[in-house]
């Protein structure tokens, strides 16, 4: 089911997913899912555990090759069919960045180094893919300074600039979550994919996360695709929500539409079986005349 949304002036599709299907042998993890994510908007993918949300991300970012489907990314650099690209090229050329459910920082590197290493593609180009960086070539020095400046910019935005020289593994959990998002942003993505970024955060940290994602979307003018179980985060920041259940899309629309969609309510809360009542005025003999006792609600 899809909400009947009015056309929004200036709204531009960033990602078009068409008939995405992912099979693992006889198991169908994603079954003919289609949706769009829009530029400069936050799109959430939600659903119960096992609905296939992370599998969608893995297809988009090259960890899996879809069994069927078209994954088209559109931005100023061109159009990219992600299902045909190797994973590292999706990050490098199509400029899709992601984070994971489990934090994957370099814990023994400093906080600053974690953000500089994310910019290795730019630094390698500046070095001419040779040893120009080692001999102090001016072009490389400029690129290195720009990388440090960008890292400091994001450390300031996430509020840990004073911990730049601390090992990343020694940061509090919430700060590590923010650092991972900052590291993804240091790759200059056009689409940022976040897999459960609010997992394990306390209410104050969740509020800070919502503010950070709004800032990224509004100020850096990119599309954000998010998987999240925290409905306060999802409903508070999303422009558009897709709901999956058992690998199929069951709802697609605005937060208000999705919140009130009966299919979504059933998927999350289940559906009570209705008790079969005897006909009005029928006595016990009539109710049991079929040879079995009246059904009983458990």
Among candidate residues 57, 51, 97, 99, the one with its CA nearest the CA of residue 198: 99
For the stretch 143-149, contacts whose Cβ atoms lie closer than 8 Å and that sit 24 or more positions apart, written own/partner, are 146/122, 147/116, 147/119, 147/122, 147/123, 148/112, 148/116
Tally of domains in the chain: 2
pLDDT tens digits for 152-197? 999 999 999 999 999 999 999 999 999 999 999 999 999 999 999 9
Residue 291 lies in a domain: no
Q: Are residues 29 and 156 in the same domain?
A: no
Among candidate residues 241, 212, 211, the one with its CA nearest the CA of residue 226: 241
Say how far apart CA 3 and CA 167 lie, in whole Å.
47
Q: What is the pTM of this model?
A: 0.84
- Mean pLDDT, all residues of the chain: 88
Which pLDDT does position 272 carry in this prediction?
56
Give the Cα-Cα-Cα angle 250, 254, 259 (nearest 5 degrees): 65
**pLDDT(296) > 90:** no
pLDDT tens digits for 31-53? 999 999 999 999 999 999 999 99
Which pLDDT does position 252 carry in this prediction?
96
The pLDDT > 90 percentage for the chain reads 74
- Kindly report the number of other CB atoms within 10 A of residue 148's CB atom: 15
Q: Are residues 201 and 258 in the same domain?
A: yes
Cβ atoms 99, 197 nearer than 8 A: yes
Chosen domain end from 159, 187, 215: 187
Q: Tell me which residue has tokens 């009570």.
A: 272
Residue 30 lies in a domain: yes
Say how far apart CA 170 and CA 159 lie, in whole Å.
15
Q: Are residues 167 and 195 in the same domain?
A: no
Could you list the residue range(s) of the whole structural domain that residue 193 is in?
11-95+188-270
Residue 286 lies in a domain: no
Say how far apart CA 291 and CA 264 lie, in whole Å.
38
Residue 3 lies in a domain: no
């Amino acid at each position: 089911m899809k909400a009947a949304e009015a056309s929004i002036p200036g709204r531009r599709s960033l990602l078009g997913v068409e008939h995405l299907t992912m099979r693992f042998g006889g198991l169908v993890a994603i079954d003919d899912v289609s949706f769009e994510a829009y530029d400069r908007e936050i799109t959430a993918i939600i659903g119960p555990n096992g609905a296939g949300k992370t599998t969608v991300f893995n297809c988009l970012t090259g960890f899996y090759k879809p069994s069927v489907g078209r994954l088209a990314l559109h931005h100023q650099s061109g159009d990219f069919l992600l299902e045909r690209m190797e994973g590292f090229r999706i990050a490098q050329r199509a400029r899709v960045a992601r984070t994971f459910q489990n934090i994957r920082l370099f814990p023994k590197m400093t906080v600053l180094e974690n953000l500089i290493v994310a910019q290795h593609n730019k630094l390698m180009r500046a070095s001419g893919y040779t040893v120009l960086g080692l001999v102090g070539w001016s072009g490389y020095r400029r690129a290195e300074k720009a990388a440090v400046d960008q890292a400091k910019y994001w450390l300031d935005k996430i509020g840990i600039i004073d911990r730049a020289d601390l090992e990343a593994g020694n940061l509090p959990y919430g700060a590590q979550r923010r650092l991972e998002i900052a590291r993804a942003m240091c790759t200059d993505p056009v689409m940022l994919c976040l897999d459960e970024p609010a997992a394990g955060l306390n209410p104050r940290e969740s509020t800070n996360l919502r503010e950070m994602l709004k800032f990224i979307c509004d100020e850096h003018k990119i599309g954000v695709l998010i998987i999240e179980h925290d409905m306060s985060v999802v409903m508070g920041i999303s422009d558009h929500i897709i709901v999956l259940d058992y690998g199929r899309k069951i709802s697609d629309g605005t937060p208000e539409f999705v919140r009130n969609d009966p299919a979504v309510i059933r998927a999350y809360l289940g559906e009570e079986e209705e008790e079969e009542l005897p006909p009005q005025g029928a006595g016990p003999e009539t109710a049991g005349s079929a040879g079995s006792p009246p059904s009983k609600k458990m």
